[in-house]
Amino acid sequence: MSALGDDIRALIGQEGPISLERYMTLALTHPTHGYYMKRDPFGAEGDFTTAPEISQMFGELIGLWAAEVWAAMGSPNPLRLIEFGPGRGTLMSDALRAARVAPEFRATLDVRLIETSPTLAAIQHDTLLTAGASVSWAGQLDEVPDGPAIMIANEFLDALPVRQYVRGSRGWCERLVGLDGAGELTFGLAAEPERSIKASAQEGDVLEVSAIGHRLMFALGARLARQGGVALFIDYGHTATGFGDTLQALRAHRAVSPLVEPGEADITAHVDFAAMARSARAAGAAVYGPIDQGDFLKILGIDQRAQALTSRAGASQAADVEAARVRLSGKGVGEMGALFKVMAIAHRQLPIPPGFHRLPGAAA
C-alpha cells in the first residue's frame, strides 16, 4: 500500500467511509502524495499518452483554430489564452509556434495556465521559456483577470472527481470507499438513498455525477456569456447521459484497480458531455458539438498539415507523421478519432466556431 493509501485508511478509520469524489480528489491532487503532484505521467515511460504528446500537429491546429476564433471575436486586445491542465505544456508550445503566422493575434496574447501540480507547472515553465509570450499560472479560473478569453482543455475534464450512485430497491445509494474486515480499501454503499436523484433505471445501474465539472462549466459558461470568448474541450466520453461505471485507473499503460495504491495510478472517468453542456447552457452560453476528434482535426486540416511535414522529412520521420495522423484522426480500434470528442462553449453572438460546421461532403 502506498503512503497515501495508509493516510486514507487512517482517515476512514476515524471518520467512516468517504465519497468516491473525495477519494479521487485525494488520489489525484493530495498536496504531497497525489498522483499529479509529484510526477510527469506522460509518454511511453509514463502511465499514459495524450494527443499533444503524440504529434506537434495537434497543438499547431489548435493554435490556428484559436487565431481564427480571435478574429471572429473582433480581435480583442488583450486576449486571455487559458489552458486547463496543460500537462507538459506541449500543446501550448505547439499552438504558440503555429500562431506565428498570425503576428497580430500573438501580440495580444496573455497566456494563463490553470494547473494544480507544482511539478507539472515547473515542466510547463521550462517548455514555454522560449515561446515568446507572457505566460503565468493560476490554480483556478476565478484567479484569471476578467476579459475576452479563448480556453482550451485537453484531457482535463476526465481528471475531475466524480460521485457514483447505484440503483437499489430503495433508490439511488451513493458508492463510498470504506474498509473491509482486513482493513483494506473497498467499495460499499451509503445506507440511506439520495432522495434528490429522480432518474429512473434498472436495479444495479450506476449513475456518475461530476459536481465539480458542473460548477466549472457553469462558471465558465457565465464568464464567456458576459465577457466574450470560446472554450474548447477535448476528451473521451459519451455524447448522451447514460448509466454505467466508467471509473478507470491506469498505471504504466495498464488498467489497475482504482483502490490499489492510491496516488500511484491515474484515475479518470468518462466525460458526460451532455451533462456538461447543460450546465454551460444554463449559464447563458452556446454549445457546439460534441463531434468526433477525427472530424474536427480533418476540418482543421490535419491531412494537409501532415502532407506538408512529410514532404520535408526523411522516410522514417514521414512514417512517424503518417502514423500520428492516423492515430489522432482515424476511427479504428486503438485510434483516437472517434473515441475522443470535441465540444465548444461560446458567447451566443459569435459565429459557429471553426471545425463545428458539417464536414464537406459528409451526409446530412
If the CB atoms of residues 197 and 212 are measured against ligand SAH, the closer one turns out to be 212
Contacting range for ligand SAH; rule: CB under 6 A; set: 8-16, 50-58, 257-265, 310-318: 50-58
Q: Which of 19, 154, 293, 329 binds ligand SAH (CB under 6 A)?
A: 154
# of chain residues touching ligand SAH (CB under 6 A): 20
Interface with ligand SAH, residue 159, by CB under 6 A: yes
Q: Which of 8, 9, 47, 52 binds ligand SAH (CB under 6 A)?
A: 52
Interface with ligand SAH, residue 36, by CB under 6 A: yes
CB-closest chain residue to ligand SAH:
85
Interface with ligand SAH, residue 248, by CB under 6 A: no
Q: Which of 63, 86, 228, 263 binds ligand SAH (CB under 6 A)?
A: 86
Interface with ligand SAH, residue 85, by CB under 6 A: yes
* Three-state secondary structure of the chain: CCHHHHHHHHHHHHHCCEEHHHHHHHHHHCCCCCCCCCCCCECCCCCECCHHHHCHHHHHHHHHHHHHHHHHCCCCCCEEEEEECCCCCHHHHHHHHHHHHCHHHHHCEEEEEECCCHHHHHHHHHHHCCCCCEEEEECCHHHCCCCCEEEEEECCHHHCCCEEEEEECCEEEEEEEEECCCCCEEEEECCCCCCCCCCCCCCCCEEEECHHHHHHHHHHHHHHHHHCEEEEEEEEEECCCCCCCCCEEEECCEEECCCCCCCCCEEECCEEHHHHHHHHHHCCCEEEEEEEHHHHHHHHCHHHHHHHHHHCCCHHHHHHHHHHHHHHHCCCCCCCCCCEEEEEEECCCCCCCCCCCCCCCCCC
If the CB atoms of residues 21 and 73 are measured against ligand SAH, the closer one turns out to be 21
Q: Which of 61, 79, 81, 120 binds ligand SAH (CB under 6 A)?
A: 120
Interface with ligand SAH, residue 340, by CB under 6 A: no
If the CB atoms of residues 49 and 307 are measured against ligand SAH, the closer one turns out to be 49
Interface with ligand SAH, residue 114, by CB under 6 A: yes
Q: Which of 21, 47, 155, 295 binds ligand SAH (CB under 6 A)?
A: 155
Residues of this chain that interact with ligand SAH (CB under 6 A) are 28-29, 36, 42, 50, 52-53, 85-87, 91, 114-117, 120, 154-156, 159
